[in-house]
Amino acid sequence: MKAGFEKTFKHLQEQYKKLQTGRANVAMVDNLMVDSYGTMAPLKTVANISAPDAMTLRIEPWDKSQIASIEKGIISSDLGFNPQGMGTYVLINVPPMTEERRKKLVKVVHDEAEQARISVRSVRQEAIKAVKNQHDAKEISDDMLRDAEADIQEAVDAMNKQIEMAMKTKETEILKV
């Protein structure tokens, strides 16, 4: 159960890293899919991505002939970036976020947190089912069943609190001008 919770929380943190917070971050475009020799591949597998300053991303493809497909992939994404081909690399100037964009991102943050809570509930259901199966097989007593269910609920409450804190932190980060 704890492994499931950790996996859920780690996924939530990875999703939050991808969100634009007003500063250039390589995680924003890491998994952006681009056409690489006829197949779609994550950008990080076809290029080196760096953030030379707080408002710029620099993408240097391993094969310089892929610059056009990288630009096309960035333009077709919903990130709202306008890439500039510089011959051997691509520059992305990360624009300051508008109030409307900030509000949209806050909604995304809340949606991701809700998905994490749903995943936690799913893990809880599996754990309770496993404990009840042990009880039905007479491997544990009624008291042990109640104690296990209480422990499971306590762990779920702690994880939900952790998710809530991560959500509030990311929301504050996004809304900070």
Using 50, 70 and 90 to split pLDDT, how confident is the model at 17? confident
In degrees and rounded to multiples of 5, residue 153 shows phi and psi of -65, -35
The one-letter amino acid at 119: S
Per-residue pLDDT at 132: 93
The CA-based angle 102-43-15, given to 5 degrees, is: 40
- Predicted local confidence at residue 177, as pLDDT: 64
Quickly state the pLDDT bin for 47 (edges 50, 70, 90). Answer: very high
Give the confidence band of 36 by pLDDT, cuts at 50, 70, 90.
confident
Q: Which domains are seen in the chain, by residue range?
A: 2-14+98-175 (1.10.132.20), 23-93 (3.30.1360.40)
Write down the residue that tokens 């011959």 correspond to: 87
Listed in sequence order, the DSSP H helices in the chain are 2-17, 43-46, 67-76, 99-136, 142-175
How sure is the predictor about 86, in pLDDT bands with cuts at 50, 70 and 90? Answer: confident
What is the C-alpha separation between 169 and 27, in angstroms, rounded?
Answer: 18
Average the pLDDT over 144-156 and give the result: 93
Work out the average pLDDT over 110-124.
95
Distance of CA 102 to the CA centre of its chain: 17
- Indicate yes or no: pTM above 0.75: no
